[in-house]
Amino acid sequence: MNKNYFIILLLTIMFLLLNSCGIVKFRTKRLVTKENKYIPPEFGENNSVLLVQLLDAKDPFERNFNKNTIRHFNKNIKRQVKKEYHGEYIFIQEYELTTSYYKKYQDKEMYRYVLLSRWDFYSGSGSAKSVVTVTCSILDRKDNVFYKSPDTTSYYNKLFQAYMINLEKERLKYIE
C-alpha cells in the first residue's frame, strides 16, 4: 500500500511540474481580483480606455532581448488582449506616457489604467539556459497607485491571459 501511495504521489508531482503553466493561469485567475487588491477598485466603473504597454527595442533594459524576441513577446501580449478583453484598449510604448511633448494620453480619466509588464532576463552560464520572467501590474494613473501581480513567472502568455480574463469580468459587471 505504501508503494502505491508513493507512485500516486510521484505521478501527481510530475503532472504538476509538467503542467505548471496551467497552474500559473489558475493561480492568477484566482488571486488577481479587486478583493485581493491586484485590480484597482474602480476598474470597469467608467468607460476608460485600457492602455497596454508593449516592449520597446529602444528601451535600454529591453536591449537584453533581440528584436525577434521583442516582436514575439508583443505578438503574444496583443493576442491575449484581443482574445480575452473586449473593452476598449490601445497598445502603447512607454515613451507615449513619459515623454512630455507627447500629449495624446494626458487625459487621466479617459486613459486611467495602464497594464504594465516587467520583464527580467537572467542569463545562464555553461549548460544553464537563459530565463525570462514577467511580472504584471496595473497603474491607476489618476490615483498614482500600482497594483502589482502576486507572481513572477516565465509563463508570461498564461499570466497575460488570466489577467485579461479577470479584467474582462470586472468590466462586464458595469455593462448595462
Chain segment 121-150, per-residue pLDDT in tens: 666 665 556 666 677 889 999 999 999 887
Q: According to the model, what pLDDT value does residue 63 have? A: 55
Q: What CATH number does residue 87 fall under? A: 3.40.50
State the distance between the two ends of the chain, measured CA to CA, in whole angstroms. 57
Q: At residue 85, does pLDDT exceed 90? A: yes
- Determine contact, residues 134/119, Cβ cutoff 8 Å: yes
Q: According to the model, what pLDDT value does residue 18 have? A: 43
Q: Read off the pLDDT band of 17 (50, 70, 90).
A: very low
Q: At residue 153, does pLDDT exceed 70? A: no
Among 21-35, 83-97, 126-140, the range scoring the smallest mean pLDDT is: 21-35
Q: Distance between CA 162 and CA 84 in Å, rounded?
A: 9
Count of domains forming the chain: 1
Residue 129 sits in which domain range? 2-172
Chain segment 106-129, per-residue pLDDT in tens: 889 999 999 988 766 666 665 556
Q: Read off the pLDDT band of 23 (50, 70, 90).
A: low
pTM above 0.75, yes or no: yes
Q: At residue 90, does pLDDT exceed 60? A: yes
Q: 3-state secondary structure string, 66-115? A: CHHHHHHHHHHHHHHHHHHCCCCEEEECCHHHHCCCCCCCCCCCCCCEEE
Q: According to the model, what pLDDT value does residue 11 have? A: 62
Q: According to the model, what pLDDT value does residue 59 have? A: 63
**Average pLDDT of the chain to the nearest whole number:** 78
More confident of the two residues 43 and 122: 43
Q: According to the model, what pLDDT value does residue 131 have? A: 63
